Amino acid sequence: MFHAASSLVPGSRSPKNRNDQHNGPPDDHDDGSPGRSGLGRPEDGSAERPSSRPGARRDAFFDNAKYLAIVLVALGHSWEPLKGDSRVLQAAYMLVYTFHMPAFIVISGFFSRSFDGSPARLKRLVTGVAVPYVVFESAYPLFKRLVDHDSQAAVTLLDPYYLTWFLCALFIWRLTTPVWKMVRHPLPVALVMAMLASLTPDFGGDLDLQRVLQFLPYFVLGLCLRPEHFRMVRRRSVRIAAVPVFALSLAFCWWAASKVDTGWLYHRSAAQELGQPWWAGPLMQLALFGCSLLLTACFFSWVPGRKMWFTVLGAGTLYGYLLHGFLIKGADYRGWFAHPALHRPLGEIGVSLAIALAVTALCTPPVRRVFRFVMEPKMAWAFRPDAAELARERARQEPGRQPGQAQERDGKRDEVRSDARRERVGVQER
């Protein structure tokens, strides 16, 4: 989900795509009411009952999950240039990359269930996803030109750069939501599409479609989930079982660190591009889907359901996601990650703590207020007035009037005017 700079690329990569890493951002722009990001405010401070109405109120469980996931996203970025010197860091990197992006996408799908293609939803999609994509897709190459003095860094909206691929993917996924809600068996269909994409080389350069399709099953799964499914994974028995599952997974990643290409975890390449036979792509898609879901369920089981000190930060994870990339990129362009002290255990711990604190600060309300004009622009000037919204606004201005009453009143007024006009015309003719 994160695209690191070219110096951070783990292994060779086809020049067709400028993404250096593949990490995705949290989905702060759900389909709630305009101006709201996240899930709405919890009624009882508990996430044992996730909201069944996306955008109706904030739920502490999901805000906590998004904040913890964005911290893992930032840690993965900071570990990328350091992991070559530590087998333990390589194992932790593989473990985190197996589930942090799927967790984000599942949550994004869950809170996209209400998307119906209506004008209000489409406006929200444009202002909350498309506009930030255009802004940051332009900002990152310009930042590289300025800091890295790279005159070849080009701005192109068709080739997502660094972190912006997730916004592009989310835009496409949400647009197709009504289709997935009509399909009888959406998840198997999405899995087949991901498997076919993994065996198709030279596909997906524009709009990073390779990654859009390979991550699609997680979004469709989120569309299929209901609140009771999240309650199931948060049982005490699941929390206890998650401990050995994570321990065994970390041990497996330690063993596989030098044997498995981490490119599989990025879901941006076909099997042939990773030096594997074509049939390995579909098999790895199925295997990774199962492993990712297992670890994602374990991750959700550990997420606190009550309101914590960081719960409020869950509403600003998109800010932390898109902005922390400038810190990582800037450090990489300046060569700071090459300092020998950072490649020792204490240095790795220090970098991890620093980036965790930085991304936490970027999710805070003051930062959100400063950058809201980019992340959540209102852009009323860009859209035609919605007749239904205007009727509701008139009803709000006249206490005791309902939108239907306002429309009926306006209709009667037009009818009276029309009758008066016809009467005047008849008098003139006589």
Whether pLDDT at 396 is above 70: yes
pLDDT for res 41: 34
pLDDT for res 186: 97
pLDDT for res 154: 87
User: How many Å apart are CA 406 and CA 373, to the nearest integer?
Assistant: 33
Looking at the chain, the whole-number percentage of residues with pLDDT higher than 90 is: 66
- Per the model's pLDDT, the better-predicted residue between 390 and 430 turns out to be 390
Q: Give the tens place of pLDDT for each residue, 344-377.
A: 999 999 999 999 999 999 999 999 999 999 999 9
Q: Give the tens place of pLDDT for each residue, 369-381.
A: 999 999 999 898 8
- Per the model's pLDDT, the better-predicted residue between 410 and 181 turns out to be 181
Reported confidence tier of residue 415, pLDDT bands at 50, 70, 90: low
pLDDT for res 342: 93
pLDDT for res 317: 94
pLDDT for res 166: 95
- Per the model's pLDDT, the better-predicted residue between 62 and 17 turns out to be 62
Which token pair is 265? 């975890």
Mean pLDDT value of segment 234-256: 96
Q: Give the tens place of pLDDT for each residue, 128-143.
A: 999 999 999 999 999 9
pLDDT for res 293: 97
- Ramachandran class of 230: left when φ > 0, alpha when ψ lies in -120 to 50, beta otherwise: alpha
Looking at the chain, the whole-number percentage of residues with pLDDT higher than 70 is: 78
Beta strands in 64-219 (DSSP E): none
Q: Let me know how many helices (H) and strands (E) the chain has, helices first.
A: 18, 0
pLDDT for res 202: 74
pLDDT for res 402: 52
Cα angle 224-218-65, degrees, rounded to a multiple of 5: 90
Cα angle 178-180-185, degrees, rounded to a multiple of 5: 150
- Ramachandran class of 305: left when φ > 0, alpha when ψ lies in -120 to 50, beta otherwise: alpha
pLDDT for res 371: 96
- The single residue listed with the structure tokens 């997935």 is 180
Cα angle 157-355-21, degrees, rounded to a multiple of 5: 35
Q: Give the tens place of pLDDT for each residue, 262-302.
A: 999 999 999 999 999 999 999 999 999 999 999 999 999 99
pLDDT for res 407: 52
Whether pLDDT at 43 is above 60: no
Which of 96-110, 146-160, 396-410 is predicted with the least confidence, judged by mean pLDDT? 396-410
Cα angle 267-317-66, degrees, rounded to a multiple of 5: 70
pLDDT for res 404: 52
**pTM, rounded to two decimals:** 0.80
Which of 3-17, 162-176, 319-333, 383-397 is predicted with the least confidence, judged by mean pLDDT? 3-17
pLDDT for res 12: 36
Q: Are 29 and 220 in contact (CB under 8 A)?
A: no
pLDDT for res 419: 57
Mean pLDDT value of segment 66-76: 95
| Mean per-residue pLDDT of the chain | 83
| Integer angstrom CA distances of residue 373 from 6, 124, 368, 376, 388 | 30, 14, 9, 6, 26
Q: Give the tens place of pLDDT for each residue, 168-196.
A: 999 999 999 999 999 999 999 999 999 99
> Averaging pLDDT over each range in 23-37, 255-269, 398-412, which range is the top one?
255-269
Whether pLDDT at 398 is above 90: no
